């Protein structure tokens, strides 16, 4: 028998070429009882390795190769007599020269360069030591510096670890290369001193032998054997595995080239000499080491010594500090009671009674599961947010909990909404609850994260990692680099490889590479293609998860190694979110939600400019303007209800109360769409179909959704009612059918479900129907609680848009990117609603978009509808952040300097704000942001200059700047940036008038889109409307008045392309013109014929059949052609 | 007045020049290394079909009628030479501006060749006869003529004083393409002018000078002057190429090398004498032999029907001027590459260069004279063949024995101004891995003594390679060679009594010339050989002394063939 105890996976980033699961699968096939994974400087792949091994019934040994640098390791020469290593003469010729005869005069032998020390974990102490050792070396390293351990670190953390002498990158090989056999002897001796022996006298150092059929390796083995004999250390055969099968050697070579920033052609001897670092069978290894059977036998003996597995992680969630005399549970009860008073105090007695009963039930379960600490910690976070006036709202299944609601973690009343607690927490499941907090993205979220670090200590909390894996585009790019493709070709390949969510045979990688102009019949390109496929899903590097945080009682660095994140002040664990969950590490997701930030900014703007205080928790529940806007699908910018698909559903669903928004948020999801739940529900909603139930007993569960299951909670309740499942069993059913669907896991549960139903007399077709409806959307279904949390934010965003359009629009623009549309679309939508958008102006604009009071302004349509509130006429001034390439420090410096004194001229501006570079000033001039400054400069106004946006009231800047055009400013900038020196600095320009002609409309458009990505002037289509009319192109606003089935043409700027995985290859496009947005559906065959056109053209004309069903308007495209409107680089939000 | 000849799409036109039938076809010229060849130039017809520069070869599959050709630098060179020739036939002052662009001074030619329109017309016609379609422009200064030729198709005549008016319609891109040497810089200018709304030269010309100078500096002013057609400069006149050539037409054909050498000697002496007069030496020698044709009746004709030619070129590492050496070199070359037919005409030409001047140091070792060295190398090449003489350079690869042969050229001796006796010295270090000489390593002098002692103590076993490796037949047992027989050397055969290995290596899998091999070190009993203490098989630790020969046995894993690659000392 043989156990492979030295292997690397692809988690040794760019060194191994197989994922842990593959290694385990091959190991199981070869009949090995155990295996060890030693990735470079980490245990990144160990959870996946552990779980895969568990499934394959193999023992997974954990370890790591730790990098040691030159100068951080010294081998102290022993005082006693040194044994001379006498190599036999013939063996000498195959290796390096023997230096045993040399008399050394120094007491230290610094080892050559860096080397890797392979360490295996024997016990939990050993694991903790390994984690701390890695953490220490990682956190010690500077930014973008390599992390190295020193011999002192090993002395500190040696307990419980077993050390190998390594292969060609190990300490023995390094010493041998540097100082010959004697140095190698000293190096191993030093290891033996550091790692010592176990309590029963077994050595903790194994002298490793590897045989990859290389001469120099054999020489090293001979030296190693003699050292082992001299020091009485056991030998250990390993294969230094880098990949599971020989064919992966090619990928490993490509990774090597990438790691060294070379190509395969120039990497030379950095590449592997052969393909023998694969997982070999025990029989092959026995044959290979037939002359050293003890080296093979020792692998089994050492494997038996390695007691530790990741089952024994020793993780404990932190205890919350409570006042003297209190327990965590009593403290939680008290906080919940207070919260309940606050939440339900004013509710009716019946609801109060139900709430009290539910809360008591939840608290009992929390006590039983010893989760009080967890709830208190999340409560503490929410409390911190409240104190700091940071909007925070729990999302996900936590909204099912009345305790969470009472503690203020969530904002949805689970009792009032009859939400199912078991979806959140159950005794049977044996899993930690999952509480996610939505926070405003940006600084405020960062403050909360820093609070967690500060509260639990730098070693007590960390962000979860995000393992970046090779996907098509990255694989194509990197493998192209390895093969030495030129940058232009790589760029073309990257562009061609971008794929949509929906993939058909035309989206296969080979097809995409052909599109990029590569000839796949050429052997070299074929090899490239194979490499791209082989690299798929392999980890590339470690990133940081957007919000997942793990906290630990004691030291988190004893559970998993920590690393510095790229953002200062943050540390990240070596495992991703899924791995943490799999290892039973509890996490809190602190998710940054752009809309939360936009809401918070809106409230501030409302306070400062409307002089009103809006409380999101107490918005009017049934605002008619909000519902009428939703019914019209006039929802650009609103949270969760703005997408094209949502807009297509809103006029049919016609929301009339809050619960309708909950349904609306949940219904446009893959689950209901794939399960064909959407149309039946909408038909029933419109009264076109009778409401029926699969079984009368389900009426209470499905009543709210008209007999159609839409939420995960309904699935659980259906199982509970029809098959008498407990809450926990029902949740288990959901998970079995969920993301990691497994036949083996699902089968017994389904049998149980059927048996339960049969017992309750539900048989035959009804049973099948229920099972069908459960299974169809379990995979992608949305929890009702989560939908309700989102619906609250959706309602708030809709309310603010309808009533405070200026503030909401400014806040939206300040928190981009977010949502479905580009800022250009948001601006145009706001303008169509009557909002005045002011162009960027360095004399007025702040860094962010701001509100300004203007003389005459049309109020929003919504406000008009309400009776024309006579609030001050507010307009949105575009912020400096929208000037592309303008750095924030320069922008802020400009605003700061302006507050001291206005700028007298462009030259004055350039001199007083030296942070501004030439390109930044040019950009500002190009978009007209310097017009006002330039106008102050010339007393003699060139009044005959053409004006900007003549006759276009919505887009004008102040009239005073109108006679100065952008090129006047550009002319001035060009002079201002060339400082003539102190002598001539004050010399006025002799002939100051600019000789340049004003920009044409087209030039302004081009400049606006190039420098800001949007225009506050007229829509590009408006300039060409007469021409469009001649071409028979209808405006978007015309479509509502045309009969269904009519053949017509629409045209506009493509603002969104989408090819959802659930739409059978259909592509949905949104075309915008000056009147609104028109939607088109492109069938797969038409898409295939006009692929390049449809994907790359900015303006399109689409001819097809108008479909108007229940005010949902689409054009079913039959013919597409490009439309020449402008050269401006408008952008489309394409969902790849 | 100055004229400019500009050949648009020069790369394409040079190809069409040799394949006139392509004139009516869309043609794209490709460049780059296969399989990533890309379009670098197009003719107008190809542009009209929608093909773009930068498209890859497989992307062009959609264009059925598109003719693809690989760029030919030699054709471009000859086309350009023809263009220069044509220009020089009109004017003695010609500037070789860039490939496909030539400027010539027409001053004073009117009396000789007629009025300017006629000269322009004749010039255009002559270029057309060369198989090239040119734009031709005549203007009062060279840059205006150049701009007009690049901007306007056909023949353009700009009367003096109307340059700004005529050039005004040209886009600024033409100006920057013509006068901006740096592509990035050109793009920056285009961007600036685009921002200013300046698209035509007229607009640039109209800007006030002082503000332009304040904003764009002297370079901006220069561009403006060019845009106005007001820049004046002298032509960088192409000096007439000095031709050092001798030709002999023979009454009777020469068949043997000896009489040919006699004639060559005379010709070489003449050429060398002319070069010596001008203090020049020879950089390259060209020998062109024309063969006599045979009449159908079998009689050799020396009349004037000469068709076939034979050309040899001798590049020299340094300029030389020794007729005897040249003669010897030519003789050696002709011995290696015999003409193969009776010779009717001999044409010998030499490319001139400045002679080599070298001051040797008093304490520097004397290197062989380049002339002699080159002669020696030529002699060796004549014996062993081309590509087999030079400096061997090891390649960075695991491939056994991979090397490249570079032309041998001794490095110029390094002049050391100061010699420190205690300074570091460089020493070659021998690392047996892959039997290669590795990088030089600096070591302390005091360590050298120890190193030397160590070198003496350690015995390094050498491998003597058979070049080429000897094919062998090998019998295997349990995947190990047990018997071998060399097909080409009967003495290399026998039972294999000891093996070490296999040593595996493979590589270049991404290339077509991928390789994979297994090496075995084997011992075969010999009748008479040195006695070696040989370690026994791995399983048997005893040592015994036998008369054995050690070989390196190699199997090419791709072909399955066995070879004996060498023997160990």
With a cut of 80, say whether residue B150 has pLDDT above it.
yes
Query: Does residue A591 contact residue A395 with C-beta atoms inside 8 Å?
Result: yes
- For position A320, what pLDDT does the model report? 87
- For position A742, what pLDDT does the model report? 53
Interface check A100 vs B, CB under 8 A: no
Q: What angle do CA B371, B377, B382 make, to 5 degrees?
A: 125
Q: What residues form DSSP beta bridges with B531? A: B547
Query: Residue A989: its chain B contacts at CB < 8 A?
Result: 211, 214
Tell me whether residues B58 and A523 touch, CB distance under 8 A: no
| Residue A64: exposure state from Cβ atoms within 10 A (0-12, 13-18, ≥19) | buried
Domain final residue, candidates B183, B200, B228: B228
Tell me whether residues A483 and B539 touch, CB distance under 8 A: no
Residues sharing a CB contact under 8 Å with residue B451, sequence separation 6 or more, in sequence order = B427, B443
Mean pLDDT in residue range A300-319: 89
A295 CA: distance to closest CA in chain B (Å): 15
For A204-253, the pLDDT digits (tens) are 999 999 999 998 899 999 999 999 999 999 999 999 999 999 999 999 99
DSSP B526-550: -SS--EEEEE--TT---EEEEEEEE
From B539, which residue of chain A is nearest by alpha-carbon distance? A291
Question: Any idea which residue has 């309750």 for tokens?
Answer: A760
Tell me whether residues B197 and A995 touch, CB distance under 8 A: no
B243 CA: distance to closest CA in chain A (Å): 43
- For position B315, what pLDDT does the model report? 83
- For position B105, what pLDDT does the model report? 92
Q: What is the 3-state secondary structure (H, E, C) of B52-118?
A: CCCCECHHHHHCCCCEEEECCHHHHHHHHHHHHHHHHCCCCCEEEEECCEEEEECCCCHHHHCCHHH
Mean pLDDT in residue range B478-491: 88
Write down the mean pLDDT value for chain B: 81
Tell me whether residues A290 and B539 touch, CB distance under 8 A: yes
- For position A857, what pLDDT does the model report? 45
Tell me whether residues B196 and A524 touch, CB distance under 8 A: no
- For position A279, what pLDDT does the model report? 95
A517 CA: distance to closest CA in chain B (Å): 5
Q: Between B197, B206, B431, which is nearest A967 by CB?
A: B197
The interface residues of chain A toward chain B in range 444-503, judged by CB-CB distance below 8 A, are 483, 485-486, 488-489, 492
From B214, which residue of chain A is nearest by alpha-carbon distance? A975
Helix axes A918-926, A1001-1012, angle to 10 degrees: 140
Highest mean pLDDT among A527-531, A630-634, B62-66: A630-634
- For position A397, what pLDDT does the model report? 81
Q: What is the 3-state secondary structure (H, E, C) of B470-503?
A: EEEEEEEECCEEEEEEECCCCCCEEECCEEEEEE
For B252-287, the pLDDT digits (tens) are 888 888 899 999 999 999 899 989 888 899 989 999
What three-state secondary structure class fits B38? strand
Q: If pLDDT is split at 50, 70 and 90, which confidence band does A504 have?
A: low
- For position A959, what pLDDT does the model report? 39
| Cis amide prior to B166 (ω within 30 degrees) | no
With a cut of 60, say whether residue A930 has pLDDT above it.
yes
Tell me whether residues A517 and B55 touch, CB distance under 8 A: yes
Number of compact structural domains in chain B: 2
Query: Does residue A1049 contact residue A1101 with C-beta atoms inside 8 Å?
Result: yes
With a cut of 50, say whether residue A740 has pLDDT above it.
no
Query: Does residue B374 contact residue B282 with C-beta atoms inside 8 Å?
Result: no
Domain housing B561? 463-568
Identify the residue among B33, B36, B203, B444 best suited for mutation to test binding to A, counting A beta carbons within 10 A and taking the highest: B36
Q: If pLDDT is split at 50, 70 and 90, which confidence band does A102 have?
A: very low
Q: If pLDDT is split at 50, 70 and 90, which confidence band does A1103 have?
A: very high
Q: Between B59, B192, B510, which is nearest A527 by CB?
A: B510
With a cut of 70, say whether residue A951 has pLDDT above it.
no
Residue A763 φ/ψ, nearest 5 degrees: -130, 180
d(CA B358, CA A677): 92
Domain final residue, candidates B228, B257, B272: B228
**Is B53 a domain residue?**
yes
Interface check A991 vs B, CB under 8 A: yes
- Let me know how many helices (H) and strands (E) chain B has, helices first: 15, 26
Higher pLDDT, A439 or B364: A439
Residue B313 φ/ψ, nearest 5 degrees: -125, 135
**Is B435 a domain residue?**
no
Both tokens of A437, joined, read: 């907090």
**Is B307 a domain residue?**
no
The predicted complex's ipTM stands at: 0.72
The interface residues of chain A toward chain B in range 194-253, judged by CB-CB distance below 8 A, are 212-216, 218, 250, 253
Q: If pLDDT is split at 50, 70 and 90, which confidence band does A34 have?
A: very high
What three-state secondary structure class fits B365? coil
**Is B195 a domain residue?**
yes
B196 CA: distance to closest CA in chain A (Å): 6
- Let me know how many helices (H) and strands (E) chain A has, helices first: 45, 25
Looking at residue A609, the DSSP 8-state letter turns out to be I
Please list the alpha-helical segments (H only) found in A278-327: 282-288, 293-305
Identify the residue among A490, A517, A965 best suited for mutation to test binding to B, counting B beta carbons within 10 A and taking the highest: A517
For A434-461, the pLDDT digits (tens) are 788 999 988 888 899 889 988 888 788 8
Please state the pTM of the whole predicted model.
Answer: 0.76
Query: Among A173, A210, A218, which Cα is nearest to A285's?
Result: A210
CATH classification at residue B160: 3.30.70.270
Query: Residue A996: its chain B contacts at CB < 8 A?
Result: 196-198
A212 CA: distance to closest CA in chain B (Å): 8
**Is B260 a domain residue?**
no
Q: If pLDDT is split at 50, 70 and 90, which confidence band does A776 have?
A: low
CA atoms within 13 A on the CB side of B145: 28
Residue B198 φ/ψ, nearest 5 degrees: -95, 105
Residue A721 φ/ψ, nearest 5 degrees: -80, -50
- For position B513, what pLDDT does the model report? 79
Interface check A724 vs B, CB under 8 A: no
Mean pLDDT in residue range B517-527: 87
Q: If pLDDT is split at 50, 70 and 90, which confidence band does B441 have?
A: very low
**Is B160 a domain residue?**
yes
Domain final residue, candidates B196, B228, B260: B228
Write down the mean pLDDT value for chain A: 85
Q: If pLDDT is split at 50, 70 and 90, which confidence band does A743 have?
A: low
Tell me whether residues A519 and B35 touch, CB distance under 8 A: yes
d(CA A846, CA A220): 68
d(CA A826, CA A818): 11
A226 CA: distance to closest CA in chain B (Å): 14
Q: What is the gyration radius of the CA atoms in chain A, in angstroms?
A: 34
Q: Between A98, A967, A980, which is nearest B458 by CB?
A: A98
Q: Between B211, B461, B534, which is nearest A991 by CB?
A: B211
Q: Between B54, B59, B535, which is nearest A90 by CB?
A: B535
Cα torsion A284, A288, A292, A293 to 10°: value is: 10
Query: Residue B396: its chain A contacts at CB < 8 A?
Result: 268-269
Tell me whether residues A102 and B450 touch, CB distance under 8 A: yes
Q: Between B35, B396, B534, which is nearest A522 by CB?
A: B35
- For position A99, what pLDDT does the model report? 35
Query: Residue A923: its chain B contacts at CB < 8 A?
Result: none
**Is B504 a domain residue?**
yes
What three-state secondary structure class fits B421? coil
**Is B370 a domain residue?**
no
Query: Residue B55: its chain A contacts at CB < 8 A?
Result: 517
Query: Residue B52: its chain A contacts at CB < 8 A?
Result: none
B535 CA: distance to closest CA in chain A (Å): 7
d(CA A356, CA A377): 22
Interface check A999 vs B, CB under 8 A: yes
Mean pLDDT in residue range A567-575: 86
With a cut of 50, say whether residue B429 has pLDDT above it.
no
For A600-627, the pLDDT digits (tens) are 999 999 999 999 988 887 888 889 999 9
Please list the alpha-helical segments (H only) found in A306-424: 328-344, 349-368, 372-387, 402-406
Tell me whether residues A268 and B198 touch, CB distance under 8 A: no
Mean pLDDT in residue range A880-888: 95
Please list the alpha-helical segments (H only) found in B341-421: 370-384
From B58, which residue of chain A is nearest by alpha-carbon distance? A517
Both tokens of A794, joined, read: 């959706």
For B174-219, the pLDDT digits (tens) are 888 887 777 788 888 989 999 999 999 999 999 998 888 888 888 8
A275 CA: distance to closest CA in chain B (Å): 8
Tell me whether residues A95 and B500 touch, CB distance under 8 A: no
A vs B: CB pairs below 8 A: 141
| Residue B191: exposure state from Cβ atoms within 10 A (0-12, 13-18, ≥19) | exposed
With a cut of 90, say whether residue A418 has pLDDT above it.
no
Identify the residue among B507, B513, B554 best suited for mutation to test binding to A, counting A beta carbons within 10 A and taking the highest: B507
From A91, which residue of chain B is nearest by alpha-carbon distance? B535
Mean pLDDT in residue range A422-442: 80
Query: Residue A269: its chain B contacts at CB < 8 A?
Result: 396-398
């Amino acid at each position: 028998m043989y156990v492979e105890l030295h292997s690397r996976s692809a988690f040794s980033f760019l060194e191994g070429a197989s994922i842990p699961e593959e290694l385990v699968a091959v190991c199981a096939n070869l009949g090995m009882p155990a295996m060890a994974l030693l990735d470079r400087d980490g245990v990144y792949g160990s959870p996946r390795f552990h779980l895969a091994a568990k499934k394959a019934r193999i023992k997974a040994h954990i370890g790591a190769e730790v990098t040691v640098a030159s100068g951080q390791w010294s081998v102290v020469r022993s005082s006693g007599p040194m044994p001379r290593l006498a190599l036999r003469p013939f063996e000498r010729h195959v290796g390096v020269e023997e230096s045993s005869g040399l008399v050394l005069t120094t007491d230290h032998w610094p080892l050559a360069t860096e080397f890797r020390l392979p360490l295996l974990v024997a016990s939990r102490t050993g694991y903790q030591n390994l984690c701390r050792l890695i953490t220490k070396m990682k956190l010690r390293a500077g930014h973008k510096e390599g992390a190295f351990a020193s011999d002192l670190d090993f002395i500190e953390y040696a307990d419980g670890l077993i050390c190998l002498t390594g292969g060609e990158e190990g300490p023995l090989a390094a010493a041998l290369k540097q100082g010959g056999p004697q140095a190698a002897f000293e190096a191993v001796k030093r290891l033996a001193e550091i790692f010592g022996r176990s309590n029963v006298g077994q050595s903790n150092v194994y002298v490793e032998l590897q045989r990859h059929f290389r001469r120099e390796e054999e020489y090293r083995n001979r030296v190693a054997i003699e050292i082992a004999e001299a020091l009485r250390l056991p030998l250990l055969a390993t294969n230094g595995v880098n990949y599971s099968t020989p064919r992966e050697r090619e990928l490993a070579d490509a990774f090597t080239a990438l790691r060294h920033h070379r190509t395969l052609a120039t990497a030379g001897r950095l590449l592997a000499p052969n393909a023998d670092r694969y997982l070999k069978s025990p029989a092959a290894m026995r044959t290979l080491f037939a002359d050293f059977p003890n080296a093979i036998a020792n692998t089994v003996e050492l494997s038996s010594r390695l007691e530790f597995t990741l089952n024994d992680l020793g993780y404990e969630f932190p205890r919350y500090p409570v006042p003297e005399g209190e327990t965590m549970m009593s403290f939680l009860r008290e906080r919940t009671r207070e919260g309940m008073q606050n939440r339900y105090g004013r509710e009716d007695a019946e609801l109060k009674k139900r709430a009290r009963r539910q809360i008591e039930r939840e608290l009992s379960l929390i006590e039983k599961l010893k989760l009080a600490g967890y709830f208190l910690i999340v409560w503490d976070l929410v409390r911190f947010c409240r104190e700091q006036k940071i909007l925070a709202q729990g999302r996900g299944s936590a909204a099912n909990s009345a305790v969470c609601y009472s503690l203020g973690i969530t904002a949805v009343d689970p009792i009032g909404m009859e939400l199912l607690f078991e979806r959140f927490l159950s005794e049977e499941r044996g899993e930690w609850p999952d509480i996610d907090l939505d926070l405003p993205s940006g600084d405020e979220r960062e403050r909360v994260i820093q609070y967690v670090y500060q509260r639990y200590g730098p070693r007590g909390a960390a962000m979860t990692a995000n393992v970046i894996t090779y996907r098509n585009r990255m694989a194509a790019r990197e493998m192209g680099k390895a093969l030495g493709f030129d940058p232009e070709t790589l760029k073309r390949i990257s562009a061609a490889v971008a794929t949509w969510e929906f993939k058909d045979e035309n989206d296969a990688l080979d097809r995409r590479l052909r599109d990029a102009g590569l000839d796949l019949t050429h052997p070299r390109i074929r090899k490239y293609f194979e490499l791209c496929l082989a690299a798929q899903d392999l980890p590339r590097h470690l990133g940081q998860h957007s919000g997942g945080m793990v906290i630990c009682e004691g030291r988190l660095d004893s559970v998993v190694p920590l690393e510095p994140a790229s953002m200062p002040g943050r540390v990240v664990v070596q495992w991703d979110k899924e791995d943490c969950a799999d290892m039973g590490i509890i996490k809190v997701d602190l998710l940054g939600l752009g809309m939360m930030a936009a809401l918070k900014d809106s409230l501030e703007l409302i306070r400062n400019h409307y002089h009103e205080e809006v409380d999101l928790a107490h918005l009017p529940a049934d605002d008619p303007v909000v519902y009428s806007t939703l019914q019209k699908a006039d929802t650009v910018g609103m949270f969760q209800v703005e997408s094209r698909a949502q807009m297509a559903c809103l006029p049919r669903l016609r929301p009339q109360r809050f619960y309708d928004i909950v349904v609306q948020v949940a219904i446009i999801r893959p689950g209901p769409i794939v399960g064909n739940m959407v149309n039946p529900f909408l038909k029933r909603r419109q009264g076109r179909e009778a409401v029926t139930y699969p079984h009368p007993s389900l009426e209470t569960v499905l009543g709210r959704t008209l007999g159609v299951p839409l939420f995960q909670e309904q699935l659980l309740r259906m199982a509970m009612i029809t098959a008498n499942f407990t809450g926990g069993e029902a949740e288990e059913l959901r998970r079995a059918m969920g993301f990691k669907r497994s036949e083996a896991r699902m089968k017994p549960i389904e049998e149980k479900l059927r048996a339960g139903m049969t017992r309750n007399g539900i048989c035959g077709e009804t049973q099948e129907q229920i099972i069908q409806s459960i299974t169809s959307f379990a995979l992608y279904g949305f929890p009702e609680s989560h939908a309700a949390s989102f619906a609250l934010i959706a309602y708030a965003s809709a309310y603010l848009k309808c009533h405070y359009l200026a503030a909401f629009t400014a806040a939206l623009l300040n928190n981009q990117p977010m949502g479905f549309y580009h800022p250009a679309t948001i601006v145009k939508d706001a303008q169509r609603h009557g909002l005045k958008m002011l162009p960027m102006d360095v004399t007025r604009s702040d860094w962010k978009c701001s509100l300004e009071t203007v003389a005459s302004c049309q109020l929003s349509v919504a406000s008009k509808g309400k009776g024309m509130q006579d609030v001050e006429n507010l307009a949105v001034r575009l912020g400096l952040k929208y000037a592309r390439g303008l750095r924030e420090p320069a922008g802020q410096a400009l605003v700061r300097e302006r507050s001291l004194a206005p700028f007298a001229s462009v030259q004055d501006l350039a001199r007083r704000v030296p942070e501004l570079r030439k390109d930044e000033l040019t950009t500002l001039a190009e978009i007209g942001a310097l017009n006002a400054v330039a106008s102050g400069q010339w007393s003699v106004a060139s009044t005959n200059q053409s004006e900007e946006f003549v006759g276009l009231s919505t887009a004008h800047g102040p009239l005073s700047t109108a006679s100065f055009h952008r090129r006047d400013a550009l002319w001035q900038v060009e002079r201002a940036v060339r400082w003539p020196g102190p002598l001539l600095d004050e010399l006025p320009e002799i002939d100051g008038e600019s000789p340049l002609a004003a920009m044409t409309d087209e030039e302004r458009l081009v400049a606006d889109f190039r420098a800001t990505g949007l225009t506050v002037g007229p829509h590009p289509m408006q300039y060409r409307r007469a021409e469009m009319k001649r071409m028979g192109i209808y405006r978007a606003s015309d479509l509502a008045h045309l009969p269904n089935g009519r053949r017509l043409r629409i045209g506009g700027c493509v603002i969104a392309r989408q090819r959802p995985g659930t739409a059978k290859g259909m592509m949905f496009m949104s075309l915008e013109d000056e009147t609104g947005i028109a939607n088109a559906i492109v069938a797969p065959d038409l898409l295939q014929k006009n692929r390049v056109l449809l994907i790359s053209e900015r303006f399109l004309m689409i001819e097809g059949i108008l479909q108007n069903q229940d005010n949902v308007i689409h054009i079913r495209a039959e013919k597409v052609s490009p439309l020449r409107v402008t050269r401006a680089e408008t952008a489309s939000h394409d969902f790849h | 007045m100055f004229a400019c000849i500009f050949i648009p799409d020069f790369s394409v036109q040079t190809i069409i020049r040799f394949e006139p039938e392509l004139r009516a076809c869309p043609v794209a010229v490709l460049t780059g290394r296969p399989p990533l060849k890309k379009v670098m130039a197009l003719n107008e017809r190809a542009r009209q079909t929608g093909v773009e520069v930068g498209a890859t070869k497989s992307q062009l599959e959609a264009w059925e009628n598109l003719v693809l050709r690989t760029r030919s630098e030699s054709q471009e060179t000859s086309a350009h030479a023809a263009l220069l020739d044509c220009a020089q036939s009109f004017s003695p002052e010609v500037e070789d501006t860039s490939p496909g662009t030539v400027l010539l001074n027409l001053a004073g030619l009117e009396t000789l060749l007629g009025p300017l329109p006629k000269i322009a017309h004749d010039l255009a016609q002559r270029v057309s006869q060369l198989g090239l379609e040119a734009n031709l422009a005549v203007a009062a200064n060279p840059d205006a003529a150049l701009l007009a030729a690049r901007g306007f198709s056909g023949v353009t005549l700009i009367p003096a004083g109307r340059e700004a008016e005529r050039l005004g319609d040209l886009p600024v891109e033409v100006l920057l393409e013509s006068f901006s040497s740096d592509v990035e810089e050109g793009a920056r200018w285009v961007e600036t002018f685009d921002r200013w709304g300046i698209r035509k030269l007229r607009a640039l010309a109209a800007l006030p000078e002082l503000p332009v100078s304040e904003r764009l500096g002297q370079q901006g002013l220069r561009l403006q002057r060019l845009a106005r057609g007001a820049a004046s400069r002298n032509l960088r006149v192409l000096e007439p190429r000095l031709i050092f050539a001798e030709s002999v037409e023979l009454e009777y054909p020469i068949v043997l090398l000896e009489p040919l050498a006699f004639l060559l000697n005379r010709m070489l002496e003449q050429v060398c004498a002319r070069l010596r007069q001008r203090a020049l030496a020879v950089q390259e020698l060209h020998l062109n032999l024309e063969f006599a044709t045979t009449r159908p009746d079998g009689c050799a004709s020396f009349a004037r029907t000469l068709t076939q030619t034979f050309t040899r070129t001798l590049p020299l590492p340094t300029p030389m001027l020794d007729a005897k050496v040249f003669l010897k070199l030519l003789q050696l070359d002709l011995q290696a590459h015999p003409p193969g037919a009776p010779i009717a005409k001999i044409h010998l030409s030499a490319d001139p260069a400045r002679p080599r001047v070298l001051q040797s140091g008093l304490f520097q070792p004397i290197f062989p004279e380049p002339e002699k060295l080159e002669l020696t190398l030529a002699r060796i090449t004549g014996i062993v063949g081309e590509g087999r003489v030079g400096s061997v350079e090891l390649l960075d690869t695991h491939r056994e024995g991979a090397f490249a042969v570079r032309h041998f050229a001794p490095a110029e001796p390094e002049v050391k101004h100061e010699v420190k006796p205690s300074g570091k010295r460089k020493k070659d270090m021998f690392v047996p891995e892959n039997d290669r000489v590795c990088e030089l390593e600096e070591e302390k002098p005091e360590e050298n003594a120890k190193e030397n002692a160590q070198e003496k103590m350690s015995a390094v076993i050498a491998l003597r390679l058979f070049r080429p490796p000897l094919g062998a037949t090998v019998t295997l047992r349990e995947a190990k060679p047990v018997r071998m027989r060399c097909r080409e050397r009967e003495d290399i055969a026998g039972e294999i009594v000891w093996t070490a290995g296999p040593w595996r290596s493979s590589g270049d899998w991404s290339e077509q010339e991928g390789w994979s091999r297994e090496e075995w070190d084997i011992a075969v009993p010999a009748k008479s050989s040195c006695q070696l203490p040989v370690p026994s098989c791995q399983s048997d630790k005893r040592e015994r002394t036998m008369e054995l020969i050690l070989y390196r046995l190699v199997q090419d894993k791709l072909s399955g063939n066995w070879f004996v690659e060498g023997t160990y000392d």
